[in-house]
Structure 1
Amino acid sequence: MWRIRTPNRRSLLTPKKSNPKKIVALIAALNAAVWLGGAVFFTFVAGPAFFSPALEPILPKPEDGIAARYLIGKFTAFQIACASI
């Protein structure tokens, strides 16, 4: 008959040691994913949305550029924050 081995009680109560290299690699991968996702979102969704004809009644021609310029400033700050990590 097969016996299922379970960990003893002491091993369940002791904290596992974490590898700092794995933690740094995880943070770097998450940072790269957020950075790339933000760049793709701004390039293909948020940026062109300001200049779409559907928003022209809400944002006429001069104001859409001002709003896009404001968003570009925020996006630049976001990229600098991601680059500093």
Structure 2
Amino acid sequence: MIEIIIFELHLLGVLFAFTKNWQDGGLKDGLMAVAIILLFFTVGWAITGTLASLIYPDSWNTIYFTQDTLSLIFLLIPEVLFYKYYFLGKD
């Protein structure tokens, strides 16, 4: 359940980055921003998913909080720092 909220936050981040870069530099820059976010998300989720499976045992899974939720929370921390530096640091 919490995963849905985190995925929606990612969708909003992608839309913000695309729109901001599209207005500043054109369609190519907007699509490049989306590609960077997707790459960071997929690689980061693979790494944090492995860490979450080592830390969080299967017996603790509930309908609201699973290993995937923990890995997405782990991923959210470096993503916020990266997005703040890369997309908001240009101003």
TM-score (structure 1 length as normaliser): 0.44
Identify, as 1 or 2, the structure richer in helix.
2
> Which one has more relative contact order, counting CA pairs under 8 Å at least 6 apart?
1
Structure possessing the higher radius of gyration over alpha carbons: 1
